Chain A
Amino acid sequence: MNTQVKGLTKLISQAALSGALIMCSSIVLAQSFPGGAAITPTDLTATPAQLPAPPPKYQLDDPISHEEFARFAWRQFIYLNSPTKKSNSGPTDVSPVVRGTVDPDASFVTSGNPRFYHSGKSSTDNFSSNILLWESYAHRSELFPKEAKASGNFPTLLPQYDLLNVSVSSNQARFNNLDESSQIGQNKIFFPKNGSTPSTNPYDDYEVLFEAKVNQTEYDYIKGLNVTVGQPLESFDLPNETIEIKAAWRVLSDELAQSGRYHTAEAVYYKGEESALEPHVATFGLIGLHIIRKMENYEAFVFSTFEHVDNLKKPNGADTGLYFYTTYNQLSYQSTVSSTPHAIVNTGTNLVQLPLPKAGEITPANGYDFINGNYTQPTDTSAGPIKVVQPPTITNAVISVNQEVKNAMAQSGQFGNSVWQYYQLKGVQPLPANEDSSVAGKANPLTKDFFLANNVIESSQPGIQLFKGGAPGPLPQPPNTVNCDKPVPASGQPSVNCLPNPRAGDTAANIQNVPNLVVPGVSHGEQNNIVMGGCMGCHGQSKYTNAGGTKSSIFSFLISKDNLESRGGFKAEAFDQNGISLSTAAQKYMATQSK
């Protein structure tokens, strides 16, 4: 029974019991949430796929369940991974697809063909005409080109990448541009090439690369801003229906590329020294996808993330050996964190208390799952290789909805060869909340997926996998650093890189325009005290201070003062980027207008 019918039934039965239907006007009807209804084969095969309407306002007396939010997340995935509309054949300086528009004649079934991308590519054109909807979105370097303002008509725009340290020629451009080679500067992540054991040099293994994209709503909003250098805007408020995407791709072995288990596509990536970076093109496999969407009543965005099912275990059950190197070799908690730092996870059926790594050096003794052996560290200040582990953070609601989708795929009979059967929802964060305070108490329903993290996009504990609180990057420090608060060495290589881990402080503070935000147990006046975790908590760190001096979370790390003033842009990262450059990149991620 969907929410609307449930609400109506309740209303009618209450009215009948009272014998006074006239009382209906005083009873609040439950709001409709079709996006939260059970996933059926029709949802998967609809031509075209539909973007689900926003969830209704969250109400304490009739709360939306986590299952409903999970189904909403899946419907977004179905829509965003459907084919983009092809453009009519026209001039060669126009995009072969209508960027941001779903193909009215194709469906999620179509794009599930393992050869979807490649079958749309001719030998004479570097662009395929078979592009997923989100792949057609604007890359971050199209939103903020090097020292310039976004321009052009988005639906017809050919991908063009002008980064701070490299420009991609038109014949090398592809819709996917993997210009990020680290997990927001904190880790480098790899799949072993041989079995599940890392190679001595990680760059001999299969690296994971990343890209960030935005939809036309955000692109047009940024394009339309009139920013004067040195003067903050009266207000900065990304419009509702803004969508941002972060995608993780891996290099595939020939065997995996032919396995039919991955969505594959050609993508640009980078090699060489930062000052002389060279774009290259190769075929990659999609292994992780963040989707964040801002909507009415959900001004802190709804965060969801999907993973490839083979990221940690191969189809035969063996470990993939997925591992990472940190870009820091020391960790420090702020003094307010207890001597036994921990996280409390709400699985939906119980609470789990997980000890976190201890402060100090990144070593096995301090709680990191190092892989034994002799390895070449990618930088002087990195630590690893460390095995990627999955803490017990996955909720029962998400597990059951993933099964529901799997069943619907089987019932439809059209997904037997689809790559989409090998992707799963990891979790969804609809609203900010505080972490549950004790493992021995009653859980807040909104803390399910509090520590939302993707196993290939956020992999290090406690840095970003069990994230909560502040989100600074690794800081170069002198040796014997205790609290990451020493001055940066004046010259030469730092002896250590320290990752401060506050795990407190206002994260989702001063959320803009959220009069309707309801968080159980927390009044609207207390919203400033929320210390959110996971993806939403991290993005809450991104803030903007307007001309009136009001600082608000804007939840986008793509926005910065320089970028808005058309004096910025992004640096492409080489796949074998070095330590100092990585640290700088981490700081850049967190550099927003207000900092």
Chain B
Amino acid sequence: MSNWSAPQALSIPAGKLVIFSATHQAQFQQQIQIIDANGQPITFQTFDGQSHTFPITGQGTGVNLFTNGNGKFIMQSGYQIQFKNDHSKTSLVAASTVEFDLNGIVYGGGTLFVTDDQGGPEPDYNDTSLSLQWFNSQG
């Protein structure tokens, strides 16, 4: 079992609504967790209203959602994200961040993460896919 990747700060303003969706496409088990400023996994709500706590887990080469692989939470200062797999090597994590900036007003943004568990001869960066999107206003 590999280590968690080093936690990475989320660049989302505190108090904003965040939604996420996570899929897997991997032989090895994949995990994702968001932790608070004290390093503790946070609680989130799936869209059926149920409460859950990170980490979330997924496994299988067919593309599918992680268990409890989509939901929402309110961003707080100090939240960080990290990834893990049950292969022997720490996940490689690639991310691309966007911001919706129209006429000088930021309406929201998001980050798309993909990971590679280094389980194959060449990285394919498709073992985990996580989209994490935030909005400036709710409702």
> Interface on A for B, CB 8 Å cutoff?
338-342, 349-355, 367, 392, 437-442
Contacts and interface: CB of A to CB of B under 8 A. Distances in A.
B64 interface: no
A349 B94 CA distance: 10
B28 interface: no
A468 to B, nearest CB: 14
14 contacts: A340-B90, A342-B5, A350-B95, A351-B97, A352-B92, A353-B5, A353-B8, A355-B5, A355-B91, A438-B9, A439-B113, A440-B8, A440-B81, A440-B111
Given A340-B90, A355-B90, A440 B95 contact: yes
B17 interface: no
Contact of A354 (B4, B11, B92): B92
Given A351-B96, A355-B89, 17 more contacts: A340-B3, A342-B6, A350-B94, A351-B95, A352-B94, A352-B95, A353-B6, A353-B8, A353-B93, A353-B94, A355-B90, A438-B8, A438-B11, A439-B8, A440-B111, A440-B113, A442-B99
Task: Classify the secondary structure of A's interface with B.
Answer: loop
B42 interface: no
A292 to B, nearest CB: 30
Contacts of B132: 440
Nearest to A341: B6
Residue among A349, A350, A353 with the highest chain B CB neighbour number at 10 A: A353
A439 B3 contact: no
A299 to B, nearest CB: 32
Interface of B: 3-6, 8-11, 81, 89-97, 99, 111, 113, 123, 132
Contact of A441 (B6, B94, B97, B123): B97
Nearest to B98: A442
Nearest to B92: A354
A367 B94 contact: no
Nearest to A338: B6
Contact of A439 (B89, B90, B95): B95
A452 to B, nearest CB: 19
Contacts of A353: 5-6, 8, 92-95
Contacts of B5: 340, 342, 353, 355
Nearest to B12: A440
Contacts of A442: 11, 97, 99
Contacts of B92: 352-355
A352 B11 contact: no
Contacts of A439: 8, 93-95, 113
A441 B11 contact: yes
A517 B43 CA distance: 45
A441 B93 contact: no
B13 to A, nearest CB: 13
A71 B131 CA distance: 35
Closest 8 interchain pairs by CB?
Answer: A355-B90, A350-B96, A353-B93, A441-B11, A340-B6, A438-B9, A438-B8, A439-B95
Nearest to B115: A353
Contacts of B90: 340, 355
A440 B9 contact: yes
Nearest to A350: B96
B50 to A, nearest CB: 26
A124 B97 CA distance: 64
Contacts of A392: 94, 123
Residue among A339, A350, A354, A440 with the highest chain B CB neighbour number at 10 A: A440
A302 to B, nearest CB: 28
A367 B90 CA distance: 9
Nearest to A342: B6
Nearest to B110: A440
A340 B4 contact: yes
Nearest to B99: A442
Contacts of A441: 9, 11, 97
A350 B92 CA distance: 13
A42 to B, nearest CB: 37
A350 B95 CA distance: 6
B52 to A, nearest CB: 21
Contacts of A339: 3
A342 B6 CA distance: 7
